[in-house]
Chains A and B, each alone.
Chain A
Amino acid sequence: MLHNRRLILAHFWLAFAVFAAALLLGAWQMYVRSPLSPWISNPEWYYRSLTAHGTVMGYVFPTLVAMAFGYAISETSLKQNLVGLRWAWAGFWLIAVGAVVAMIPVALGLASVLYTFYPPLIGSPFYYIGVVMVVLGSWIWVALMSINLRIWKKENPGTPVPLPMFANVAGSYLWAWTAVGAALELLLQIIPVALGFKSTIDAGLARVFFSWTLHAIVYFWLMPTYIAYYTIVPRAIGGRIYSDTMARISFILFLVVAMPIGIHHAFADPQVGAGFKFLHSVFTALVALPTLLTVFTICASVEIAARARGGRGAFGWMGALPWRNPMMLAVTFSFVMLGFGGAGGLINMSYQLDTTIHNTQWITGHFHLIFGGAIVIMYFAIAYDLWPHLTGRPIASLGLVRLQLWLWFVGMIVTTFPWHYVGILGMPRRMSFFDYTDPALANEAVSVVLSAIGGVILAASGILFIFILISTQFSQPRQIEDYRFALAVHPPTRVPVALNSYGLWIALMIGLTVTNYGYPILQLAARDDTSVPAVYVGER
């Protein structure tokens, strides 16, 4: 049983509560922009809703899940009580209060700038300050993870850091550095303008700062999912980790190469030259490497489970897998969505192909498939796996869990596949409605309706998820065995220093970021002719 159950549950519950609210907003958006709904009279509501949906789903929800999971990992994998409990609670409250501070102006229509900010559009300062509070709260977690590992290392000299904690701390460092880009944009550029100290802003520079955060943040969202692939899935289905070393290499690769690639978000921007765009394109290709390695290792780990259950033959073992096990179902769905989403990602990373789909509905389809699909379905799996240990009660109905996972998978496919299709046709994203009477757009109406139906299925799945968690919380307590993570086929006895610490990799991460971002940022920052007047949002 875990010691800091209240702390971990508080993070999870806040995460899932804001997730459910944002999910309903998302489904509503899908409905109102479809031909099913009469013309909405005030598009402002759509953009308020979109800002809230994006801010919660992008910043608050995944951060809280990573933190909750991180605290659980620290305690269970190190078998050491968490140091810094008070600080952890302080971090939690910073995020909770920050989320409220950010959401009030959004609800009032004073910050409809979407979660990507879009300067020179400037919203209420409270929105940005709230976001900064969320980031500060999460940095406390980063520090705590690092401190707890250090204490453990001091007490266990020469012992390999358990894989879950190794990955968890790598993820926290990745986040700490990733968030710096948006933090610089907010603190140096946007907040001074929002508070009225300045009235001009360099929108091009702001976009470069933001790209620093915006791509690597996806790998931060991904970390809990990958940790679950490696350290929960094999155990839950009766297998073992194929290779502990390869797992460590994958997490290190994420730490090093996930960072310096964000300019691929600015492929179509005029403020970055061709050279750095090409460089970031190559680095983006490189970040496919840890995922390719992971797909192999996880498939092999799953095969081990199947063969242990009597599976035979080159492909016959697949029939021997425990398909009714929710974890098996979740990881399969996750991989299918990761496959489609990853293929789309390879298209986005290439400058030439990107021009066809840049900023169209394709992009929305792509990242919903990766984040909302492949990643979030594993967040569900993590919650289902941990809940009995957090509450002392077993999950009430595995049948409902399977239904919920199926609904999420089907809903995500029905939502995102039509988006990819209309994206290729050139349908722009972030529009509150379309004129379906225009003959050039009329044939896109069916796709938008399909996505809206997908949105309803997703909302139903999300509600079911919350229902399962609540009903477990109120079911009969039972003796629950200790929480444990998957073991490797060959558990490491000694690990090279490079695969057991981060110094070298952090240096590389920072070094590569500086080479890939230093020149574009300095070049823009040094110019004095690129700042433009701010455009304030809402009534002032």
Chain B
Amino acid sequence: MTEIHDEGATVAERVERRWAAVAVLIIVFLAGMAAFAGIHQATMPQTTVETIDPTTIHLQGEFVESNLGSAVGADGSVTVRAVGQQYSFSPPCLLVPSRTPITIRATSADVVHGLLVQGTNINTMLVPGYVSVQKATFSEPGEHLMPCQEFCSVGHEGMWGKVKVVDKQQFLSELADKRRISCAP
């Protein structure tokens, strides 16, 4: 009787060990995929932590009102700057070119907000005191809603921005005589 029992115990242990090995392999595979995607820059978190004083952003530095919106740099790259505050984004509508790598730089003037562009994987937290940086490319012209995805007190539900994607030629011609553009009315 005990012999059968012992035999059963050995089998049970073997099966169990195999399952544990399979489970470990699954996890190694998952972590490996994350590393692979990261190395290939599919999407990676920003590497450096940048800070900024939210009490003075409207007075000086890169987030003063006249500097918000989309701009083209000397190297042809497009940068979009935005600020979240209770309960709106500035500018409320971002104008961006399609099929062009862009960099979004954004921060908060008061509490924690979130910037999410529906239908894309642009999704970042705006934490006061820090600058959020995200790289993105829009494939097609069109419009996207850009809600605040983090609770920022009563009024949170009213915080909806917009992103308008136009083709690159139109974007450049609209920008021609201005330093910054947005689609804010």
Contacts and interface: CB of A to CB of B under 8 A. Distances in A.
Interface of A: 43-44, 47, 112, 114, 118-121, 202-204, 207, 242-243, 246, 266-275, 277-278, 281-282, 285-286, 288-289, 292-293, 296-297, 300, 346, 349-352, 355-356, 358-360, 425-434, 438, 440-441, 489-490, 523, 527, 529-533, 535, 537
Given A242-B12, A271-B130, A527-B51, A360 B153 contact: no
24 contacts: A47-B151, A112-B154, A114-B151, A121-B152, A203-B129, A243-B13, A267-B45, A270-B126, A270-B131, A273-B45, A273-B48, A274-B44, A278-B35, A288-B26, A288-B27, A351-B38, A352-B42, A359-B150, A426-B147, A441-B145, A529-B51, A529-B129, A532-B129, A533-B55
B80 interface: no
B121 interface: yes
Interface of B: 5, 8-9, 12-13, 15-16, 19-20, 23-24, 26-27, 30-31, 33-35, 37-38, 42-51, 53-55, 86, 110-112, 114, 116-119, 121-133, 143, 145, 147-157
Contacts of B54: 532-533
A203 B30 contact: no
Given A289-B27, A293-B20, A270 B124 contact: yes
A267 B45 CA distance: 7
Contact of A425 (B16, B34, B118, B133): B118
B171 to A, nearest CB: 22
Nearest to A524: B49
A350 to B, nearest CB: 5
Nearest to B157: A431
B34 A351 contact: yes
B116 A351 contact: no
Contacts of B131: 270
B51 A351 contact: no
A270 B42 contact: no
Contacts of B128: 120, 203, 532
B23 A43 contact: no
Given A289-B24, A529-B51, A532-B54, 13 more contacts: A121-B153, A204-B127, A243-B12, A246-B16, A274-B46, A289-B23, A300-B15, A359-B116, A425-B118, A440-B118, A530-B129, A532-B128, A533-B110
A270 B55 contact: no
Contacts of B37: 350, 352
Contacts of A434: 157
B30 to A, nearest CB: 5
A286 B51 CA distance: 32
- By CB atoms of chain A within 10 A, which of B35, B42, B111, B156 has the most? B111
B156 A44 contact: no
Contacts of B124: 268, 270
Given A296-B19, A359-B149, A121 B46 contact: no
Contacts of A242: 12, 16
A269 B125 contact: yes
A490 B148 CA distance: 55
Contacts of A535: 86, 110-111, 153
A285 B31 contact: yes
B127 A270 contact: yes
A281 B33 CA distance: 11
A93 B81 CA distance: 52
A438 B111 CA distance: 27
Chain B residues touching A, majority SS: mixed
Nearest to A355: B121
Contacts of B125: 266, 268-270, 359
A286 B34 CA distance: 13
A35 to B, nearest CB: 14
A533 B117 CA distance: 28
B12 to A, nearest CB: 7
Nearest to A299: B19
- By CB atoms of chain A within 10 A, which of B24, B112, B133 has the most? B112
Nearest to A45: B154
Contact of B123 (A297, A358, A431): A358
Contact of B119 (A43, A118, A269, A426): A426
A429 B151 CA distance: 8
Nearest to B52: A529
B50 A351 contact: no
B123 A268 contact: yes
A346 B149 contact: no
B154 A47 contact: yes
B44 A270 contact: no
B47 A118 contact: no
Given A203-B112, A282-B34, A352-B37, A271 B149 contact: no
Contacts of A277: 45
B49 A272 contact: yes
B24 A350 contact: no
B45 A351 contact: yes
A243 B147 CA distance: 49
A272 B127 CA distance: 11
Contacts of A114: 151
A120 B31 contact: no
Contacts of A527: 51
Contact of A356 (B45, B121, B147, B148): B121
B127 A352 contact: no
B140 to A, nearest CB: 15
A429 B34 CA distance: 26
B34 A352 contact: yes
Contacts of B16: 242-243, 246, 296-297
A270 B153 contact: no
Given A242-B12, A282-B31, A537 B127 contact: no
